[in-house]
Structure 1
Amino acid sequence: MPLKAHLSRVSRRNVQTFKVNPLSEISGSLGDLGTLLPIFIALALNGSIAVSSTLVFTGLANIATGLLFGLPIPVQPMKAIAAVAIDQHFSIQETAVAGLIVSVVIFLLSISGTLDLLNQYIPLPVVRGIQVGAGLQLIITAGTSLLKPLGWVRPSWADNHLWTLFAFVFLLLCTAYSKRHIPYALIITLLGVLFAILSPRDHYHSHTHPSLWNPQIYVPDLHDFKAALPAAIGQIPLTTLNSILATSHLSKHLFSEEPAPSLAHLGLTLSVTNFISFIFGGMPICHGSGGLAAQYHFGARSGASVIFLGLVKLILGLFFANPVVWVVERFPHSLLGIMVIAAGMELAKVAESLNTTALDLEENIDGNSFRMAGDEERKKRFSVMLVTIAGILAFKNDAVGFLAGVLWYIVLYWDKVWSNEGRRSWLGIFRAENTEETPLLDAQ
């Protein structure tokens, strides 16, 4: 489809979806705050990013993805880089350079077609394992970092386990009555902002008054590149697998009626954004299956949701960066923790489709029927996914989980290597399929 026709179709869908259920789209746009806020706050307090530039460029990236894809494709921090930056107290230049290095690699993979090759041959149970592992990591992080330090009445009336219980029960009710499109994320976010403003932990200072964006240029030197390289190397597998491959798979799973963003386009959007923002000290960004799952869970169904979020970020970055920092520092962990858990649960739910409606089981019959895997194949596929998850959680590293899952897959399907198809290509093992005669499972 020509670009002009594609953009026109996407725009119509965005507008129509927003008109039908604006509260759902707005609520969904806030669904990924549980991932964004903790990292954004930590990097800002660490002096590792320029806050206003981060808001401006992540806002522009949200708007661009909403207009280009017409789906709630998220814009997230590069988590591996953020972890190293926080731990080693990176400067703004070091953090930005780490994102630049990753973006150059992803850009080359995108324009060379290598991303499509990886997508073609990486076993889908491994991709599912990466998605589930990321979801469980979010849940564990919420429990250990956000909720565990709280008490029933501490640290304040606005942030304690009583509010954790309230947020959980409210989430349960919203899930039980999901057909009514209750804007959970919107309500919880507004409540959190109100509590942050009324929080007794600090007073409103003069430096939090609104001010215009005053961008600064950050020129890195050789030392910045040397310091940033290890963080970038750790981020590359995560960006390739979770930000691009897993996001593409999840978008096909959640929006089967809509054209999924191509791997190259996902890679190019995050690369171009980082190419522009790094010189201004913006936070390194990528996409992510966890963010997509979270935004979908809380109601986002089109690009209108992330366009709305992008406009809010852009306005805040241009005029209200200082008040934003003041509020997010005080956002109640009790409410934020439950939002993170909900996001993790939504992402981990993709495991249930592994042996029923996964893309590699799809039959070419109107695109809505799937091959039913045999008992032996289901066990193999589940174990590959489980090993991938175990590697991610045990080592807290997506690359380790990926390698463990692929090796497990090779061993289980070793007999396929010596088949005629396998001998024709050394990559044949990654396209191994069960040869049992099995009936079709209608997806509907």
Structure 2
Amino acid sequence: MATNVAPPHLARRTATSKITTFASDIFRTVPLIHDIPLALSRLKSFPRRLTLSEVSGSFGDFGTFIPLTIALSRSGAISLPPAIFFAGLSNILAGLAWDLPMPVQPMKSIAAAAVVEQLSRSSVTASGILVGSMLILLSITNLIEVINMIVPVTVVSGLQLGLGIKLSSLGISMVTDLPFASQIDCGLLGVLSAILGVVLLKNEASTLENKIKLLPPAAVTLFLIALTLASIELKINGDDPLYDLPLKMFGPSVVYWAVDGINPSDWREGFFNLALPQLPLTTLNSVVSVAALASTLYPERRKPPHPQTRRSSRHKISTDDNVLSRREVAMSVGLLNSIFCLFGGMPNCHGAGGLAGQHRFGARNGTSVIFLGILKITIAIFFGASALTFFEAIPSSILGVLLAIAGAELGLTGLLLTFKDIHVSSPDSKTKLFVLMCTTVVIVGTGKTQYGVLAGLVAYVFYGDGFEEYKKLLQWARQPTPAATSEEMEDVTTHIEVDEEDDKNDEV
């Protein structure tokens, strides 16, 4: 019986073609690098494209960035000036690479766990490097889709809800631990701030017909009130040794070698307590959701697939989200964390909520986040010391309200992630909610995010459809890859010849 065996020279050319295609696909997943001239043209046109609408939209993600960053700083989990500096640099790079209002925000799971469990700065740095490295690996191997298949959405929803409840509870306790009305920073201020925040949040969520355009965003308003009261606090209690007065320019270095002093215990804690629970959140919410939302918000920017993505069925950039591919976003988050956390940056990611918020407030292109990045870098470099002092004087009552709002938003996002797939008449609705609640209650009860994830996976396997789903996944993974037929080998040869002919024409 005759077999189809490719000649040695054809096999070598086929292997070379596959390696070249694979390397080209990886190169195109690295944001900014593969199209530097286009990025430079966007930077050159920045002053002309900077409109009031883009400036307004740049603050659309402050509701998440401000409270989490301040909480991480006050808990000692990050150094504030480097964290702000590298967050701003990430904003600029993302705006130049994609020309979209791509947000850069603290990783919520890491931030919530670090603040609530009082984890060290070394553990947080280690977690950012580990998550970044894992995302780079997932992007290169295109295993980003496998994560979606292994971790059910209900577990991710429960993780978000549990961390949201913990974060909101911490914010509420910061208010209730204060005296009611005997000082500026008091429980009454927290109650009034909460009422104002709810009113402004409702206005933000209203339709254009019902919205009061003069009302500012909630988080920015509360933060400005907090800065005003912090100034009053510094004026009244200027002799307090807690405050570094007088205010001065510059401050701590915005770049330092952050891995000095990280021991094996920090790496272990950063992996199990922070990086591992964060990974499914990042892959699903900061990669898959962002890519899909970008295609929904900006359909006019859809790109036709690259010719080489049609020639390789194995290692290719996803083409269903044509504005941004999942591999691009995963590579971006991976590089930002694995590199910037080495020099003092905090674990950051892109978020679908931030993208939607910045779009809602007027941002339509990368100009908004470039402006925001320049603002952050300016604050970090020139006002680093004053920023630290102001943050120390910020009323805990307002910070607690901001944390409670951020936690509620995180929990609500988790609920909606599952509820969008639940129908009242569906028999598996109770099963999905049970898996979600198992994850949530274990996180809230034990205070350990990794225990909640494990509990959710166990519930998914033994109570839900996880056993059958994982069984199907293993059967699919064990299926052998069919050998290339002579027709496929001939097709590859044709592509190689066409490529060589194109190269010759280009040289001419």
Q: Fold match, TM over 0.5?
A: yes
Choose 105-114 or 257-266, whichever is displaced more: 257-266
The one-letter code of the counterpart of 1:244 is T
Out of 199, 219, 222, the residue aligned to residue 173 of structure 1 is: 199
**Residues 1:151 and 2:196 are matched in the alignment:** no
Residue equivalent to 1:241: 280
Residue equivalent to 1:317: 380
TM-superposed deviation, 1:170: 1.1
Secondary structure in 1 matching 2:262: helix
Give the whole-Å Cα distance in 2 for the aligned partners of 1:87 and 1:355.
Answer: 30
CA change 1:413–1:377 in 2 (3 A) is: same
TM-score for both structures, normalised by structure 2: 0.66
Q: Is the 8 A contact 2:155 2:436 kept in 1?
A: yes
Q: 1:56-95, aligned counterparts within 5 Å?
A: 56-68=85-97, 70-76=100-106, 78-79=110-111, 82=114, 87=119
Give the whole-Å Cα distance in 2 for the aligned partners of 1:247 and 1:400.
Answer: 22
Identity score, percent: 19
Q: 1:24-423, aligned counterparts within 5 Å?
A: 25-43=58-76, 49-68=78-97, 70-76=100-106, 78-79=110-111, 82=114, 87=119, 96-97=125-126, 99-144=128-173, 146-154=174-182, 156-157=183-184, 159-178=185-204, 179-180=211-212, 182-199=216-233, 200-203=236-239, 208-211=247-250, 214=253, 217-218=256-257, 220=259, 224-233=262-271, 234-248=273-287, 250-251=289-290, 256-258=296-298, 262-280=325-343, 282-287=344-349, 292=354, 299=361, 306-351=369-414, 353-354=416-417, 357-358=420-421, 372=423, 374-413=425-464, 417=468
Give the whole-Å Cα distance in 1 for the aligned partners of 2:161 and 2:359.
Answer: 15
Q: Is the 8 A contact 2:53 2:362 kept in 1?
A: no
Question: Unaligned 5+ residue runs, structure 2?
Answer: 1-24, 29-33, 205-210, 299-320, 480-508
Choose 258-267 or 233-242, whichever is displaced more: 258-267
Highest Rg: 1 or 2? Answer: 2
Choose 326-335 or 104-113, whichever is displaced more: 104-113
The one-letter code of the counterpart of 1:170 is L
Give the whole-Å Cα distance in 2 for the aligned partners of 1:87 and 1:353.
Answer: 29
Give the whole-Å Cα distance in 2 for the aligned partners of 1:196 and 1:423.
Answer: 58
TM-superposed deviation, 1:323: 0.5
Give the whole-Å Cα distance in 1 for the aligned partners of 2:117 and 2:445.
Answer: 22
TM-superposed deviation, 1:176: 3.4
CA change 1:419–1:51 in 2 (3 A) is: closer
The one-letter code of the counterpart of 1:310 is G
Choose 204-213 or 122-131, whichever is displaced more: 204-213
Q: Is the 8 A contact 2:112 2:163 kept in 1?
A: no
TM-superposed deviation, 1:83: 5.0
Q: Is the 8 A contact 1:388 1:402 kept in 2?
A: yes
**CA RMSD in angstroms, aligned pairs only:** 4.2
TM-score for both structures, normalised by structure 1: 0.75
TM-superposed deviation, 1:387: 1.3
Number of corresponding residues: 404
TM-superposed deviation, 1:411: 1.8
Q: Is the 8 A contact 2:291 2:326 kept in 1?
A: no
Give the whole-Å Cα distance in 1 for the aligned partners of 2:251 and 2:285.
Answer: 38
Give the whole-Å Cα distance in 2 for the aligned partners of 1:27 and 1:66.
Answer: 15
Give the whole-Å Cα distance in 2 for the aligned partners of 1:406 and 1:151.
Answer: 43
Give the whole-Å Cα distance in 1 for the aligned partners of 2:362 and 2:258.
Answer: 38
Give the whole-Å Cα distance in 1 for the aligned partners of 2:60 and 2:409.
Answer: 15
CA change 1:183–1:242 in 2 (3 A) is: same
TM-superposed deviation, 1:25: 4.1
The one-letter code of the counterpart of 2:266 is A
CA change 1:251–1:138 in 2 (3 A) is: farther
TM-superposed deviation, 1:193: 0.8
Q: Is the 8 A contact 1:71 1:301 kept in 2?
A: yes
Secondary structure in 2 matching 1:329: helix
